[in-house]
Amino acid sequence: ATKPPLSADQIADLNAKHVNDLDRDYDHLCRQLARRGVDAEAAVAKVAAFSVAIPTWGAGRGGTRFAKFPLAGEPTNIHEKLQDCAVVQQLATVTPRVSPHLPWDTVDDYVGLREEAAELGLGFDAINSNTFQDQAGQPHSYATGSLTSSDAAVRAQAVEHNVECIEIGRKLGSRDLTVWIGDGTNFPGQQDLGRQFDRYLDSASGIYAALPDDWRMLLEHKMYEPAFYSTVIQDWGTSILAAQELGPKAKCLVDLGHHAPNVNIEQIVSRLHRFGKLGGFHFNDSKYGDDDLDSGSINPHQLFLVFNELIEAERNPRDGFDPAYMIDQSHNVTDPIESMLVSAEAIVQCYAKALLVDRDALHDAQDRDDVTMAFQALRRAYTVDVTPIVAKARVEAGGACDVIAAYRASGWRDRKAQERKPVGLGAGIV
Ligand code: PSV
Ligand code: MN
Ligand code: MN
């Protein structure tokens, strides 16, 4: 039996205040949408089936390279992080899986960790490997890069770490390995750009060879940082070339913050899908670079347009369509649980809006080159307040009508501030 951290009765009590209003708002929206020929109940069913994984590292206060400001009661180990993720899942009901990062989440007993998560109502999603930092006791440094280092012993160590991540992932019940490397150069001439990529392909094929049949290797690109002159896996072009070279189990992962400014990310989604290579997503938002801000906080329209492409992709599957959806954010100034709650809600809202697009009208307008009506098909869906649809699906799944109010009423963080050991200053900067 699961042992959820919050009391289900308390959530139901809090919901009792809202259910009449919610039903009225939902009925009104259903009637409004029905006039347009849109089925709100179908959207609720799709929303109820949607889920997005949350990152273990998102459960703690993040930091910048300048400072981290700890929060009283924040989790300091994987066990406490799982508890906080379980709180998010209980209230939001769309985040049933957690994505771990290794070696940050190292434990002695992974089978036990899987059982512990299951008791909290959680499973595990993609395993993230980490060869972008040195770890205590590791024989070789990643100062010269990892999978692409000019030093064969360093490359072997980085491959071995990824293979170990797969082994750990099997124990946890994961089926994806996400590989992001920080390798690149800071000076022109520092490395040969071609040979560096050759070394990547060679190392990556060593990892690929260790993948079980039902696993995928998700290649995550990022334009820059920590390397500032060139990055080996810098964009979706390099990513898809590598994925094609490696084989069918290699796919591309799109992190919304990892592109040049103003890049059309929804078009990248469409392109990757066209060639069966869209493997996963890291949701976040950004203003300037890889800011890892809360999803939908800066550009919710972009998030909607991304989901619009994802729905088109789902309707036209190529090579299967099963992207691993995950939040990848750094919560520097908020309670991480609150950020994950509102981010999950923002993601589902954009998905729900994209579900409301009248696709026949859109495709018809596109075929007739009616630019105004094609854009109107998107605009009409985007401007709908889908709060009742999303809340309805959540309450029916046992979650909270108002996620933040319920979380605050639970007193969770204050209780944890009494129980958990304080975080040391400067600890855990990532
Ligand atoms: C790199 O910026 C990244 O987006 C990758 O997904 C890493 O695993 C994560 O951030 C680390 O915080
Ligand atoms: Mn990411
Ligand atoms: Mn990132």
Q: Tell me, which fold does domain 8-419 have in CATH?
A: TIM Barrel (3.20.20)
Complex ipTM over 0.95: yes
Res. 425 pLDDT band, cuts 50 70 90: low
* pLDDT score recorded for residue 342: 98
pLDDT tens profile 50-104:
999 999 999 999 999 899 999 999 999 999 999 999 999 999 999 999 999 999 9
Question: Predicted confidence band at 429 (pLDDT cuts at 50, 70, 90)?
Answer: very low
Query: What separation in Å is there between the alpha carbon of 263 and the centre of ligand 2?
Result: 17
Q: Which of 56, 220, 290 to mutate to test the pocket of ligand 1 (most atoms within 8 A of CB)?
A: 220
Q: Which atom of ligand 1 lies closest to the CA of 225?
A: 2
Q: Pocket around ligand 1: residues whose beta carbon is below 6 Å from it?
A: 57, 128, 180, 220, 222, 255, 282, 290, 328, 430
Which H or E element spans position 54? strand 54-55
- ∠ CA 58-63-64, nearest 5°, is 130
CB distance 47 to 348 below 8 Å: yes
- Please, are residues 246 and 208 in contact by the beta-carbon 8 Å criterion? yes
Mutate to test the pocket of ligand 1, among 128, 253, 288 (most ligand atoms within 8 A of CB): 128
Tell how many helices (H) and how many strands (E) occur in the chain: 16, 11
Cα-to-centroid distance, 281 and ligand 3 (Å) = 11
The pLDDT mean for the chain works out to 96
Query: What DSSP string describes 136-160?
Result: TT-SS--TT-STT-SSHHHHHHHHH
- Checking if the pLDDT of 428 tops 80, the result is no
Cα(255) to ligand 3 centroid in Å equals 7
